[in-house]
Structure 1
Amino acid sequence: MTQAIRHYLLCIQFFTRIPITGALAAWVGYSPAMLRASAGHFPGVGVLVGGLVAAFTAALLMLLPATGSAPLVAAALGTVFSVLLTGAFHEDGLADVADGLGGSYDRNRSLEIMKDSRVGAFGAIAVVLALLTKVVLLGLLGDVSAPLLVLALFVAHVVSRTWPLLTIRLLTHVGDAAGSKSKPLADQISLAALMTGFMWCLAAIVLTVYAQAATDFVSLDVSGADLLQALAHALVASLLAWVWMTRWLARRLGGFTGDCLGAIQQVCELAFYLGLALSL
């Protein structure tokens, strides 16, 4: 259990800007083997980030004037908060992948572009469109039901961080082994770590369903049965987005890089919101 806590805190340290410093960082420690073992806790980072963003958004919805624009404002500010929590880590991956695969059809040239820290036109457009789509979809969900917006934020952050683990398991890491900070994390994942990730995801979904069943979690506009069906559709939409992204990366790159995992997280999160909205 102590080792699992260390791995979880190391994953938080790697994927967020939440401070794990001083004596706590010394206790956690670091090694490439530990970072590799921590991969299974990536969805657990989603539990923390998603929980904080959901709580922040819920507070905004209570404090903002009860007008038709309130959900959209809360969605925009909640998105800003999520970017601050993660340091735009995954958005940066999306930008690099868009630049690399949009800038060249040659595999080696694409990988070279993805290593460049500068953001090109394809990357900038991809991030702008992703953030815009995220905000408007969340605003739409908030129009249906404010608690639904909060629920969607929490579950989507967890689910979208689960699918990349399957990519690590199925594809080969093709990034620069010497220069990639994600290489120790992403080059492989054990079956035990993969199961850990799915347990995080399952726990988050069960918690959400239980909260909905035990309380009046959604407004009268959305019944409990409709919500469960919509969640199932959102999960399927997110899964389909993962399948498409993984097949695309396999075809274009013959594998994946750390940036690709960030791009998968962003696309799967958007697909979750879209699936939920379409279902409702």
Structure 2
Amino acid sequence: MIKPIKGQLIENLLENVKAQLNLFYLALSFFTRFPVPKTMIYSEALLNKANRYFSLVGLVTGLLLGLTYVGLSHFLPVNVAILLIMVISLLLTGAFHEDGLADMADGIGGAFAREKRLSIMKDSRIGTYGAVTLVMALLFKFTLLVELAQQDSNHLLLAIVLAASLSRAVAGSLISSLPYVSNDEQSKSKPLAQAQSWAELTLLLLIGLAPLIFYASEVVFSLLLVLLFFRWFFKQWLMAKIGGFTGDCLGAAQQISELLIYLTLVAFLHNDTLTGVMG
């Protein structure tokens, strides 16, 4: 009797691992251009459950970008290497989050009525507000990364991994606390807008927070304080402007969170305290 029971337990474990891998592949295929197995099973319900792995997708992306920077920095100037990894990042993600930032800026900046704002967000064309916001965000990111690299390449590599994972955790966590407001059934973000379980939210946050183990306590405290304040303010702002969130708003939250993480680390650098950043 023991062998059949043990065999069943192993079989159940393998099935669970296979199911979780499928969810990760769904998240990876949704947010990046990485190839995934052709055997991946897709459904809107499964894609909704895949939100638990948003920060893991960021972790993988950040690690790849960090390793790429290491290779490029051996034979290119720092600013050129950083510019190239920014280009590679855009190619890997299809500028998915940047597109959300630009669309949100166009929608909320270009209208006063809620319905009009949502309509503008769905328009694939970029307007003045979106263009200006996107250019400034990219320039700001480049400047902050160069500042980190000039101090120490290790700080830059760790910052890239942290920002990629934690920013996606912040953005993904908004699903659990805001209503989805788009009425477009064809919206590419619709499957991700359903309720998020506590287990899914916990896993999302734990993965996103994992790189913080390499940082000193004062840096961790400052980063969490900044991001918690941003998340609270962004929630209130979105509720006031459109009554909830759209997929574009999640992309904007990721981009802004990423910039805030870099900015906080640069602030420690500027005050000569980043040398003690690692715990």
Q: TM-score band (shorter)? A: 0.7 to 0.9
Alignment partner, residue 81 of structure 1: 88
Contact preservation (8 Å) 2:167, 2:208: no
Query: Which residue of the other structure, out of 13, 21, 32, is the alignment partner of 1:16?
Result: 32
Structure 2 CA distance, aligned partners of 1:15 and 1:56?
A: 19
Alignment partner, residue 221 of structure 1: none
Residue 270, structure 1, aligned to residue 277, structure 2: no
After TM superposition, list the pairs within 5 Å mapping 1:48-197 onto structure 2.
48-64=60-76, 70-197=77-204
TM, length-normalised to structure 1: 0.86
Structure 1 counterpart of 2:218, one-letter code = Q
Which 10-residue stretch deviates more, 243-252 or 137-146?
Answer: 243-252
SS at match of 1:105: coil
Q: Residues 242 and 188 of structure 1: is their aligned pair in 2 closer, same or farther, counting only changes over 3 Å?
A: same
Alignment partner, residue 23 of structure 2: 7
Structure 2 CA distance, aligned partners of 1:77 and 1:183?
A: 32
Structure 1, residues 71-129: CA drift from partner, whole Å, max 9, x if none? 32222111111111100000000010000000012111100100111100101111100
Which 10-residue stretch deviates more, 102-111 or 241-250?
Answer: 241-250
Structure 1 counterpart of 2:223, one-letter code = A
1:204, CA displacement in angstroms? 3.3
Residue 250, structure 1, aligned to residue 242, structure 2: no
Structure 2 counterpart of 1:172, one-letter code = P
Structure 1 CA distance, aligned partners of 2:259 and 2:228?
A: 11
Q: Residues 60 and 11 of structure 1: is their aligned pair in 2 closer, same or farther, counting only changes over 3 Å?
A: same
Count matched residues: 253
1:231, CA displacement in angstroms? 4.3
Identity %: 41
1:43, CA displacement in angstroms? 0.2
Structure 1 counterpart of 2:34, one-letter code = I
1:166, CA displacement in angstroms? 2.1
Which 10-residue stretch deviates more, 178-187 or 267-276?
Answer: 178-187
Structure 1 CA distance, aligned partners of 2:210 and 2:143?
A: 28
Residue 28, structure 1, aligned to residue 44, structure 2: no
After TM superposition, list the pairs within 5 Å mapping 1:227-242 onto structure 2.
228-242=217-231
RMSD after superposition = 1.5
Contact preservation (8 Å) 2:212, 2:220: no
Structure 1, residues 197-237: CA drift from partner, whole Å, max 9, x if none? 0221233333xx1xxxxxxxxxxxxxx75xx5334423332
Q: Residues 231 and 72 of structure 1: is their aligned pair in 2 closer, same or farther, counting only changes over 3 Å?
A: farther
Structure 1 counterpart of 2:205, one-letter code = F
TM, length-normalised to structure 2: 0.87
Alignment partner, residue 39 of structure 1: 51
Structure 2 counterpart of 1:198, one-letter code = L
Greater Cα radius of gyration, structure 1 or 2: 2
Which runs of 5 or more structure 2 residues have no equivalent in the other structure? 1-16, 270-279
